[in-house]
Amino acid sequence: MKLIINADDFGYSKGVNYGIIEAYKNGLVTSTTIMMNMPYVDHALDLYKDNQGLGLGIHFVLTSYIPLTNSSELLGKDGVMDRDFDRIALCSEKTIEAELRAQLNLLIKKGYKITHADSHHHVHQIPKVLKIMSKICKEYDLAMRTVPEQKNWDEFDNNIKTTENFEWEFYDEKATFEKFKDIVSQPDISSLEICTHPAFIDLHLKNFSNYVEPRMIELDILTSQKTKELIADKNIQMINFGDL
């Protein structure tokens, strides 16, 4: 099996950024995706300068913080983007595409090689968003995460690189060594991505995220010798999206 362990939310906070780099340097994380509308993007990219073996992708955001385009159409009732999929589904394709392109263009301007794309809260389960992300990924030759509950696979271009399987259940109360072992023990899978959220806890994370303490548990598991030995014993090949 070829395995990608992606750390989501790069740029969310300094603690998240440090946790992701720790999980790469001393653990099993092989790629990360960055949130370009977040306040700690520059801090994340400063850390990345010395860790460019880590695959870098974009974590498209339509469900958190402020849009780069300042589009009022993307804002929820509290004046920020929120996790209301029904509201997002009613936004125009033009507005959604403009915001996603603004986020990608900002990352491109930083000058780093980008390998792949996914989305915060897996918002590309919405068919309209999936269609736009597929279009952008094909245009820029980016690999893309596919998720089990996508509602309209017809909007996904089969020419876009992706893994055979995707796993998002290493999360919250299921972020355990036993769950990780079950995931990587699945038979007859050629390539697999595991979505993770390692972090050190800081004040910004506590104030703005609903997912806090389990991130430290994820980090502990992803950097533990026991987990590394499991990967070695199963002869799993660790890759990033640039290797697909």
| Domain CATH code at residue 67 | 3.20.20.370
Mean pLDDT of 36-59: 98
The closest alpha carbon to 128, from 101, 159, 100, 155, belongs to 155
Q: Is the pLDDT of residue 155 over 80?
A: no
pLDDT at residue number 142: 97
Alpha-carbon distance of 209 to 94, in angstroms, equals 29
Measured CA to CA, the distance from residue 114 to residue 91 in angstroms comes to 27
Tell me the pTM.
0.94
Contact criterion met (CB below 8 Å) for 76 and 87 = yes
Where residue 186 falls among pLDDT bands split at 50, 70, 90? very high
**Structural domain count of the chain:** 1
Write the pLDDT tens digit of every residue in 73-125. Answer: 999 989 999 999 999 999 999 999 999 999 999 999 999 999 999 999 999 98
Tell me the per-residue pLDDT of 65-75, one tens digit each, with 9 for 90 and over: 999 999 999 99
Rg of the chain taking only CA atoms, in angstroms: 17
- What's the mean pLDDT in 160-171? 92
**Which range of residues forms the domain containing residue 168?**
2-243
What's residue 151's pLDDT? 46
Helix axes 213-222, 14-25, angle to 10 degrees: 10
Average pLDDT on 119-148 reads 91
